[in-house]
Amino acid sequence: MTKSKIFVISLHRTMTRSTDILLSSLGYTTLHFPKFFNGENLMEAVRGLEDNPERVLQRLTPLIESRDAFSDVPFPGLYPQLAERWPDSRFILVHRDPDHWERSARGHMKDRKLSPYNRIQYRLYVDANIQRLPEIPKGRLAEIHEQHTHQVREYFEKHLGEADRLCTVDIADGNAGEQICAFLGHDPIPLPRLSGRPSPEDMKTSREWVEACPYKSDARYFLATNLLNVGRVGEAREHLRCAIQHEPDQPKPYAMLSEILERDNDREAEVMAHHAVRCGLIRPRLCSRAARGRARAGHWKEAFSLWMTGLTHRVRRH
């Protein structure tokens, strides 16, 4: 059984998180939406490079070398470069009803500016001056979804002549997970469903994910989110500590644990906030809390730097 690189190159909002759960449950080390890595916000690191896929790939290479499988943005916009750079890699393309996908993408993005990762994905299909999805005419996104599916298949089948490197599945078929498993040489497993919003269904999925992948930080994080939603704070806290132990470069568990500890007036909240910021997650509230902790410890210069970082971030967002 090969452990060559696996890239999920479906556009965002096409079950990319569910595909990540499936791949990690099959034993692959995975990263979904790889924004943070080794203390760096990679999405910000590629800002200004969105139209230069080779330089983007250069920045992402250490991350790609660290895991087996990757999903979500920016990978859908980099598949030709990925296929060339890793010639033994395999690719998964999940198709969704295009009209449903357009509604999902617009509902997810709303009026937010496209991030650097989003721009890398959409650069193949829209004008570089587009800043937000509402600027794209209604119906055009559905066309982009179909265009992406067609161009990816044509690239592997005709340009490379390596159709066997690509697995295309359709959610409507009902057996997408089983098809992906067969493509990768595994026994069949249904595609899990995780909405990302706390619910009994997400609680069940995230628990099963933790059971299958106890060392996966995201699995613990999503379970903690669902546990907090039903008031099981102590259990959530323990899963967040496990998440931090297993993947200490991922900032979201630190941030969530900091919020829990802050409500309990526990000074460890300041330590967790500091870790989150050092891992690349810049939020004014976290920066302020981390600064408070560093000032309490007598590190005034570092405290001032953290406070200014949070203030600058707040000003830029507004």
Same domain, 208 and 309: yes
Q: What is the 3-state secondary structure (H, E, C) of the chain?
A: CCCCCEEECCCCCCCHHHHHHHHHHCCCCEEECCCEECCEEHHHHCCCCCCCHHHHHHHHHHHHHHCCEEECCCHHHCHHHHHHHCCCCEEEEEECCHHHHHHHHHHHHCCCCCCHHHHHHHCCCCCCCCCCHHHCCCCHHHHHHHHHHHHHHHHHHHHCCCHHHEEEEEHHHCCHHHHHHHHHCCCCCCCCCCCCCCCHHHHHHHHHHHHHCCCCHHHHHHHHHHHHHCCCHHHHHHHHHHHHHHCCCCHHHHHHHHHHHHHCCCCHHHHHHHHHHHCCCCCHHHHHHHHHHHHHCCCHHHHHHHHHHHHHHHHHHC
CATH code where residue 47 lies: 3.40.50.300
Query: What is the model's pLDDT at position 314?
Result: 87
Cα separation, 139 vs 209, in Å, equals 36
233 and 170 within one domain? no
Judge if the upstream peptide bond of residue 74 is cis by omega within 30 degrees of 0. yes
Same domain, 12 and 143: yes
- Do residues 63 and 145 both lie within one domain? yes
The count of domains in the chain is: 2
Q: Which residue has the tokens 């619910």?
A: 199
43 and 152 share a domain?
yes
Sequence-separated (6 or more) residues with CB below 8 Å from residue 304: 291
pLDDT in the model for residue 306: 98
Question: Do 116 and 241 fall into the same domain?
Answer: no
* Residue 106 counted as domain residue: yes
Residue 243 located in a structural domain:
yes
Residue 190, in any domain of the structure:
no
Q: How far is it, in rounded angstroms, from Cα 272 to Cα 203?
A: 25
109 and 243 share one domain: no
Q: Please report, for the domain that includes residue 268, its CATH number.
A: 1.25.40.10
Q: Which domain holds residue 211?
A: 200-317
Residue 318: what pLDDT? 60
51 within domain boundaries: yes
Q: Tell me if 195 is assigned to some domain.
A: no
* Domain termination residue (choose one: 156, 184, 212): 184
Q: Of 184, 218, 241, which marks where a domain is finished?
A: 184
The model's pTM = 0.95
Closest C-alpha among 202, 213, 274 to residue 31? 213
Residues 165 and 215 in one domain: no
> Is 191 domain-assigned?
no
Q: How many other C-beta atoms lie within 10 A of the C-beta of residue 207? A: 15
Domain assignment of residue 96, yes or no: yes
> Of 184, 211, 235, which residue is a domain's last?
184
Whether 216 and 176 share a structural domain: no
**By the 8 A CB rule, do 15 and 99 touch?**
no
Question: What is the mean pLDDT for each group of 10 consecutive residues in the chain (318 residues)?
Answer: 83 97 98 95 96 97 97 98 98 98 97 97 95 97 98 98 98 97 98 96 98 97 98 98 97 98 98 97 97 98 97 82
Token readout for 44 is 């910000």
| 263 shares its domain with 235 | yes
In this structure, are 59 and 159 located in the same domain? yes
The reply to whether 19 falls in a domain is: yes
Q: What is the pLDDT of residue 2?
A: 44
Distance CA 52, CA 300 (A): 40
pLDDT given for residue 273 in this prediction = 98
pLDDT for residue 1: 39
Are 39 and 72 part of one and the same domain?
yes
